[in-house]
Structure 1
Amino acid sequence: MKKLETYIVDSFTDQPFKGNPAGVCLLKDELADSEMLLIAKELGLSETAFIGELNENNEYPIRYFSPVMEIPLCGHATLASSKVLFEKFGQDSITFVNIQNLKLPIELEEGFIKMRFPIYETVPDEAPMELLKALGIEKANNSAYNAETHILLLEIESAEVLKNLAPDFDKLKKSHNGINGVLVTALSSKPGFDFESRYFWPWSGTNEDPATGGTHTFLAKYWGEKLNKSRMNSFQCSERTGFMEVELLDKEKMVIKSKAQIVLKGELEI
């Protein structure tokens, strides 16, 4: 029987039971993909991260699984994993490398975790009317698509409308067969925040992701160009809520900065 040191960590929050919970498993031996998928299903969280031991390049291999499939890159599970390793080993910097061989440098700075991520582009794309109806949206101000994450971005008229969306997830899933999720965003009406978002992904995980770092790989550039800013504060207005600061460093790299709270530590027996 294998025993895996396992955590549940709430990401993009400074309070327990807010933000986005992720599973984190520390591996001493390799696991089959099927085993990692079963563990992700058992934990039942939107994503579970599996961290390998430090390699010869001083990097931690990391993989992410939803209860349905492997996800190449996940912001909140990266933040959760960073929190675990910083607390366990007392480091102030680490580097993850994902299944796409993408290097993710992470730093601890005055209690905040800073993650360096790539910047992705969006291209104009039409949203099917059936998808808009399933979301409860009459009209989108803009519609765009990101190829790396297979996510459709919709900008709508107000943060108040965004907060009150109550999608029909069965109809939403049937409305499109070429995306992993749909991100809905609007200018923020909250003091201290620039934009807000919600992320729905019944195609590849759970119905709604409470706080999502990965979407900001293209969302930060999208709003940065609209607002003429390189540093912005983002609020995810899901039921659990979440927050992060984003900074565009150049045309290819960005920083996502936030906090996380460990709420459970134990051993998983398989």
Structure 2
Amino acid sequence: MDSFTKEPFKGNPAGVCFPRQELSAEAMLKIAQEFGLSETAFVRETSAAGSYAIRYFSPRQEIPLCGHATLAAAKVLFSKTPQTEIHFLTHEQVDLAITRHGDDITMTFPVYDTVAATAPPALLVALGLPTVVNTAFSPKNKIVLLEIADDQQLAALRPDFAALLQSHTGINGVLVTASGSSPAYDYHYRYFWPWAGTNEDPVTGGVQTFLAKYWATRLHKPVMQAFQSSGRTGSMQVELQADKVLLTSQAIIVLEGQLVAFD
């Protein structure tokens, strides 16, 4: 699956597995490592109609919440059934309501706060950032947020990932963001997470659990357009509603098959 895009080979690729039997965490991690994508989602029906259990694995570890793999799993289910609303229950028992509107899919995610923080100088050097506008931290996600002044500088970043990994401990990733310089997008962002997944996530929905509130507060806008300026690029609409954020975008099925090793 390619998520947060209308075009194949853009956005963020995710694996989606519908195992016929319950798999151990070890087995799911091995499958995620075999696929080698930033995340693979594992989906199983529950006893409640329209409700599914979902778990996410990077090639390194289980991930509590993943936006693009949720979008990918929803796209597959909506393509095979006439349903217009489904629910995913995560491993942490978070209920994610998902709705379909034509080709658009809207995901309802929780909202988490950030706190003021200071970035280690070595982290900024590894990212190639001489200065930042603001630094914050998402305790729930264990992600450092760095706001910089220029979205073109953001797109041009070429981090030293070996140095980045050594520059900080106890975090899952670093998100770098900038306000948009054109009317098309309110803010741009990139997400680097060699601590927990791949070097860079092409398009990340899960970070909107704190990034949407961060920018809504600064821009005084509850509805915004977000652009991830990775090599593959991707975009989504975000809408802040009190303690929830709605993410709307599209996804494309690019490959289907059968995993015979666990059949």
SS of 2:5 mapped into structure 1: coil
SS of 2:177 mapped into structure 1: strand
Q: CA deviation at 1:148?
A: 1.2
The yes-or-no answer on 1:52 pairing with 2:44 is yes
Report if the CA contact (8 A) 1:197-1:236 is conserved. Answer: yes
Q: Aligned letter for 1:247?
A: E
Q: Aligned letter for 1:169?
A: F
Aligned residue in 2 for 1:6: none
The yes-or-no answer on 1:109 pairing with 2:101 is yes
Report if the CA contact (8 A) 1:46-1:209 is conserved. Answer: yes
Report if the CA contact (8 A) 1:28-1:53 is conserved. Answer: no
Aligned residue in 2 for 1:266: 257
Provide structure 2 residue ranges, at least 5 long, that are not aligned to the other structure. none
SS of 2:254 mapped into structure 1: strand
The 1-side partners of 2:47 and 2:125 are apart by 48
Report if the CA contact (8 A) 2:43-2:54 is conserved. Answer: yes
The yes-or-no answer on 1:213 pairing with 2:205 is yes
Q: Identity, % of aligned pairs?
A: 54
Deviating runs (4+, > 4 A) in structure 1? none
Of 138, 151, 159 in structure 1, the residue corresponding to residue 143 of structure 2 is 151
Alignment of 1:1-270 (within 5 A): 9-56=1-48, 58-250=50-242, 252-270=243-261
The 2-side partners of 1:110 and 1:81 are apart by 16
Q: Aligned letter for 2:139?
A: A
Comparing 238-247 with 185-194, greater Cα deviation is found at 185-194
Q: CA deviation at 1:58?
A: 4.3
Q: CA deviation at 1:266?
A: 0.5
Q: CA deviation at 1:191?
A: 3.0
Q: Aligned letter for 1:263?
A: V
The 1-side partners of 2:47 and 2:176 are apart by 38
Q: CA deviation at 1:111?
A: 1.4
Q: CA deviation at 1:57?
A: 6.3
The 1-side partners of 2:89 and 2:229 are apart by 30
Tell me the TM-score normalized by structure 1: 0.95
SS of 2:45 mapped into structure 1: coil
Q: Aligned letter for 1:266?
A: G
Give the paired residue count. Answer: 261
CA shift digits 1:165-224 (9 cap, x unpaired): 000000000000111000000001233210000000011110000000000110000000
CA shift digits 1:50-107 (9 cap, x unpaired): 0012323642000000000000000000000000000012311100000110000000
Report if the CA contact (8 A) 2:97-2:107 is conserved. Answer: yes
Q: CA deviation at 1:27?
A: 2.0
The 2-side partners of 1:63 and 1:155 are apart by 30
Tell me the TM-score normalized by structure 2: 0.98
Report if the CA contact (8 A) 2:50-2:85 is conserved. Answer: no
SS of 2:256 mapped into structure 1: strand
